[in-house]
Amino acid sequence: MKETGFIFCPLVVLLLIIPVTCFAQQAGMNIGAVLPLWSILPFAGILLSIALMPLFLPHFWHHHFPKVSAFWALVLAVPFIYFFRGVAVSEIAHIFMIDYIPFIIVLWALFTVSGGIYIKGTLKGTPAVNAVILLAGTFLASLIGTTGASILLIRPILRSNAWRVHKAHTVVFFIFLVSNIGGALTPLGDPPLFLGFLHGVPFFWTMHILPEMIFAGVVLLTLYFIMDSYYYKKEIKTDAPDTVPEPIKIEGLCNFIFLAGILAAVLFSGTIKLGEVDIFGIHQAIENLIRDAALMLMGILSLVFTRQEVRKGNDFNWAPILEVAYLFAGIFMTIIPALAILKAGEQGALAWLIKSVNTPAQYFWAAGSLSSFLDNAPTYLTFFNSALGKFYPGVPEAQAVASLIVEKIPYLAAISAGAVFMGANTYIGNAPNFMVKSIAEEAGVKMPSFFGYMFKYSIPVLVPLFILITFVFF
């Protein structure tokens, strides 16, 4: 039956795309206006696989998730190329060269460099110490990314709380603040904002959501301190570490230079215009190619100049970034029809969605709700293109984005805040969430299950906070 299902799914997509092929010829290959809504089934399939397979088929998923990603990519790519030929090849080449490769390069660079910084020393996991670490991580996330900040600080906070019985809530609030909300201020902070930057949103534009981030951060830190103080009083104080305190020491300091290099490279690509070159028919900005080369160089230099003992201290390995690379290759392939349909605006098959999402509050909750389950990077890109299609249908992307960031600030702010903030609602909402959970479980922390995380923490804590943010800001 499994083999039959694997054969049946591609055939269904084939049959659904066939009827519109002739119309694509007549429409000048404007595929967004003629693709059926069913063409996004592979996109839905891979996202549901990411959400459900780790829960119901964990062993299969652990060993075969690259194959699952490749399967859904082929379900889309084979019929898409067969029926749309040159246009399909161009669309695929464009999304991989303009979006996927730079996206993976920046994540890899941050992951590699941050993994070379080892914070050692004795920290007692008191509510005050934990809150300071969370506060520092919240602001670091916008500088070195939610991935970088999470990898840098999760092990120090786990070591400082190793003696405590009640510590799962600390990891959960770490996910809330460091792995998600803290990354709202720059394109380096969270993958959705970097995708927006790649599509023309200025580097510092995201400072428009600074008030929302500060509001959310203050509320969550206050709640955390109250909760952690309650649990701290229940701890048996004799379990606290009584060894001679070891001074705080940071090893791998050279990596801070490489982090500065990453920031400088991204800023360079967003402020300097050096023209374009044609690579395999895709127009590439020269400054973006220089940026990507610089990011790769920073990662390589980190590997060369960081002692292996430092990375061993961090239990550094390549598994997390490889998982992201495999899964996002499939996501970026299968998202092509959805983006094309949304770019077509009210001429596309998702006209009803574009018409139903009208206010900033609706964009905040629509982008955020999907980001909770479908990974926030492609969700941001989906609603970003939805806004472009709604307000500037048929306008070239560069011109439409230039208008959006000036004329529709509340809309893009709502999309950005929704995608970044609500990625914290579930373990699958943002790439670092599962990484932090896995590292915590390896350290012996009994983390809540997928639904336990939602019903014990995100629904009672985050949902009321987001409702409050809606009334205050949107």
Q: What is the CA radius of gyration of the chain?
A: 23
pLDDT for the residue 213: 94
Beta-carbon neighbour count of residue 225 at 10 Å?
17
pLDDT for the residue 170: 92
The tens digit of pLDDT for each residue in 6-43 reads 334 444 444 444 444 444 444 445 677 788 888 889 98
Q: Which residue, among 103, 416, 143, 463, has the nearest Cα to 288 in the 3D structure?
A: 103
Strand, coil or helix: 36: coil
d(CA 174, CA 135): 10
pLDDT for the residue 450: 74
Tell me the β-bridge partners of 277. 284
Pair 411, 125: CB distance under 8 Å: no
pLDDT for the residue 8: 41
Task: State which amino acid sits at residue 14.
Answer: L
Q: Which residue has the tokens 């479908």?
A: 374
Sign of the Cα torsion 177, 223, 444, 132 reads positive
Residue 39 DSSP one-character state: G
Q: Is the pTM of this model over 0.85?
A: no
- Mean pLDDT, the chain, as a whole number? 83
Q: Cα torsion at 142, 144, 150, 151 (round to 10°)? A: 180
Tell me the β-bridge partners of 123. none
Phi, psi of 444 (to 5 degrees): 95, 5
Beta-carbon neighbour count of residue 5 at 10 Å?
8
Q: Which residue has the tokens 């048996």?
A: 236
Q: Which residue, among 99, 166, 85, 81, has the nearest Cα to 126 in the 3D structure?
A: 166
Q: Which residue, among 363, 413, 369, has the nearest Cα to 215 in the 3D structure?
A: 413
Tell me the β-bridge partners of 249. 120
pLDDT for the residue 118: 85
Number of continuous H segments (helices) and E segments (strands) in the chain: 22, 4
Task: State which amino acid sits at residue 328.
Answer: F
Pair 63, 56: CB distance under 8 Å: no
pLDDT for the residue 87: 84
The tens digit of pLDDT for each residue in 247-260 reads 778 888 899 999 88
Q: Block means of pLDDT (10 residues each) for the chain, length 474 residues?
A: 41 44 46 84 86 82 90 92 85 86 86 84 79 92 84 84 84 94 88 83 89 95 93 70 67 89 84 82 86 95 92 81 85 86 74 81 90 75 82 82 88 94 85 79 79 88 95 91
